[in-house]
């Protein structure tokens, strides 16, 4: 009976340790993220994204290459996944881009979608966390 009790204690301790390790490795979207964006004409720009998570809510802003800052909307963070939208006005038209991605360490990989003239275009994006 002593062996059975010892095995149960060891199993319980192992489960607790695994649970603590999983918690310690939870994804963290907070910080400044950078990625490059290539236009259809082949011009490359670097974008900067500042994120702050409070529970499931995600706030922040995207800084464009010209220095303009766009607040993100509808930001969410759940199960290592980020999602948010940006809207830009140009010539009386509003262009909204929807972003989704998975946080893994210091990288966010995902897709962005933008609707234009009734057609949705999608592209992949990969951002790296800026080191402090």
- Kindly list the domain boundaries of the chain, sorted by start residue: 27-129
Q: How confident is the model at residue 15 (pLDDT cuts 50, 70, 90)?
A: very low
122/112 Cα distance (integer angstroms): 6
pTM check: above 0.85: no
**Residue 24's CB: how many other CB atoms inside 10 A?**
7
Contacts of 56 (CB under 8 A, 6+ apart): 76, 77, 78
The three-class DSSP label of residue 66 is coil
Give the DSSP H/E element, type plus range, for residue 119. strand 119-129
Whether the predicted pLDDT of 16 surpasses 70: no
Cβ atoms 87, 96 nearer than 8 A: yes
In CATH terms, the superfamily for domain 27-129 is: Avidin-like (2.40.128.30)
pLDDT at 11: 43
Q: pLDDT tens, 74-130?
A: 999 999 999 999 998 889 888 899 999 999 999 999 999 998 878 899 999 999 999
């Amino acid at each position: 009976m002593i062996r059975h009790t010892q095995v149960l204690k060891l199993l319980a301790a192992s489960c607790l340790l695994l649970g603590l390790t999983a918690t310690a490795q939870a994804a963290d979207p907070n910080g400044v993220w950078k990625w490059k964006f290539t236009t259809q004409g082949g011009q490359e720009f670097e974008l900067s994204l500042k994120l702050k998570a409070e529970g499931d809510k995600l706030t922040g802003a995207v800084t464009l290459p010209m220095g303009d800052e766009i607040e993100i909307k509808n930001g969410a963070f759940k199960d290592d996944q980020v999602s948010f939208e940006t809207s830009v006005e140009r010539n009386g038209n509003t262009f909204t881009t929807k972003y989704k991605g998975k946080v893994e360490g210091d990288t966010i990989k995902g897709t962005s979608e933008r609707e234009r003239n009734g057609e949705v275009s999608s592209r992949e994006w990969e951002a790296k966390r800026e080191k402090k």
